[in-house]
Every structure is written in structure tokens, then in C-alpha cells.
Amino acid sequence: MGDKNDVLIIEDSMATTILLQDFLKKMGYENVKTCNTGKAGIQLFSDLENAGRRPIVLLDFHLPDMNANEIMTGIFGIRPDAKIILETADSKSDEQIKDALRGGAYLYIEKPIRYDNLKNVFETLEKEKDILEEKPSDDIERVIFHMKSSARISFARLAEYSEIHGDLLNKHLSQLENEKKITKVSDMKEVSCIQCDSMRILPNFSCPVCNGTNFVQGKLIEHFKCGNVSVENSYKENKCPKCHKEIKILGVDYKTMDNYYICDDCGDKFSNPSQDFLCIKCNNRFPLEKAKWVTSAGYKSSGL
């Protein structure tokens, strides 16, 4: 992976700016510029671009001097393929946000900003940067490139990743099949985003009580005599942390419960974390029962 991009934060809240800087530093981003107005942001982006830098922009949706769409217009006038990530506390249904996404914003993240969400976004940008640096410009070479990157891939996912669609993609796949370089396999059923249709989806696991992601897998011990249930390492020297009696015989004094999860945020203990999905293109989050399913032909490499 190459050097990390510069980052430009356009944000009028000092607290949010400091939080973002701390998050970015944890992820290894050292070249972070900040400003608190749209006008200054456009000028700073221009200065960085003229210096040969390609900053990723974190843009507050509401600034005192300009709105997000005006700032985006200014930045896209300098660099049409700029990566702009909106920060907003507004509802996902807000038409202004949808207009901004249609207008070229890469995606948006909700306030209050969580480290995990920001980390997912920047990891995706880094992967896309690597692919763009390596990816061949020839259509069929692009198909081959993505075929090589997966043991098995669907037509729908290949279309999104290669940006080749419909009959043209079918033509390339047929050619590769005839040359015995790929093999068609059974259809694949996959989840896509209910908001933007992207298949760049990550499973998201969380505590069923507080929805936090700060949990660990461990073993629980239940002490029959006093009813205490807590993690294994809380029984120091085989003594119950509640009644301080020694536990001796498994099945008589106590029982163990393997493969449990303990939330470090709220302390809840659970056998299965909650699961939903996160779209890393538009940052939409949705549960399995609302997922949009896409079925398309599957392919695997056989001679590439």
C-alpha cells in the first residue's frame, strides 16, 4: 500500500475537529489540515492540489458561511474526482443529503462520529486507491483482475467492481469461458444496500443491549451456591467474586458457559451478538430482515 493521502477537515466545531484528528492519527494519517469555513476550505484544497497532494475531504454539512453543496461545487471545480465525505447529524431521509450524494459526495457519516465507522470508510478508500493504481484500463483485463482477486465472484459484484455492465460484461465473460480461463458455477445470492444498491456490504456485529461494538469473547462461570454469573478471570484463585467461597467441583459447585460475549461498554453478557449490515459506499446501516437480495450467476477462475 502506498503513502496515505492528506486529509482536509472543513468543520466549524473545534471539539469535532479534535476528535477527527485523534481518530485519523490512530489510523496513521499524519498530514491533516483543518479550517472552519467553506471559503477557507476551498482555498486550502486548491493549495494542496497545486502542491501535488490529493486530500480526502471531511466536510461538515452545515457551516456558517456556505452550505455543503456550494463547497462541493468549489472543490469539484478544482478536482472533479475529489473524495468528499459529509459529516451530518441530520436524518438519512433528508433530501439535502440525498442531493449532495447525487452531486458527487463519496458518502456521509453520522454525528456523533464513531471511530469504527470512520475507520471503515478510510480503509475502503485505501483499498480503492490501491486497485486504481494497479487496475488495468482495458475492459477484459479489468475483468481478469477482479476474477483473480476472489475465489468466486458473482456477475452482479463483478459488474460493480469492474464498472462494466450488461451485454458487454457478458461478452467478456463468455470469451474467458471459451478460453477455459473461468468457469461458470451456481447462482449466488447476496445482500445489497437498500439505499444505494451497492454490494460493498460489511456485516456489523454489536451488543444486543447497548449496540456497542466493544465486546470480547470469553467463558462465563455460574456459581450454584450464590447464583453469581461472571467471566472466568473474575474468579481469582478459584473464589467466587460475589460470596468469596471457593469453587471446587465442576458440575457440583459451578458450571461453565463457553463462547459467550461480554460487552465492555454496558457489561451485558450474551451468547450471540446482534447483526446488521453496513454499506461502505453510502454508510447506510440496515438489519437482515430489510436486506435487498440480488441473485446472479457465479464464476470462478480456472486458468487465469
Domain extent listing, the chain = 7-133, 135-196+293-301, 216-264
pLDDT of 4: 82
Q: What count of other Cβ atoms lies within 10 Å of the Cβ of residue 109?
A: 17
pTM recorded for the entire structure: 0.50
Q: What is the mean pLDDT of residues 133-155?
A: 78
Q: How far is C-alpha 3 from the geometric centre of its chain's CA atoms? A: 20
- Cα distance from N-terminal residue to C-terminal residue, the chain: 24
Give domain 7-133's CATH architecture. 3-Layer(aba) Sandwich (3.40)
- Say yes or no to pLDDT of 55 above 90: yes
CB-based burial label for 258 (10 Å; 0-12, 13-18, 19+):
exposed
Rounded Cα distance, 112 and 109, in Å? 9
Average pLDDT value over all residues in the chain: 86
Q: Which fold has domain 135-196+293-301?
A: Arc Repressor Mutant, subunit A (1.10.10)
Instruction: State yes or no: cis peptide before 112, omega within 30 of 0.
Output: yes
What's the pLDDT tens digit per position in 257-285?
Answer: 887 888 888 888 888 888 888 787 776 78
Banded model confidence at residue 245, pLDDT cuts 50, 70, 90: very high
Q: Are 260 and 217 in contact (CB under 8 A)?
A: yes
Q: What is the mean pLDDT of residues 121-128?
A: 82
What's the pLDDT tens digit per position in 24-44?
Answer: 999 999 999 999 999 999 999
- Say yes or no to pLDDT of 123 above 50: yes
Closest CA to 5 of 53, 59, 41: 53
pLDDT of 196: 86
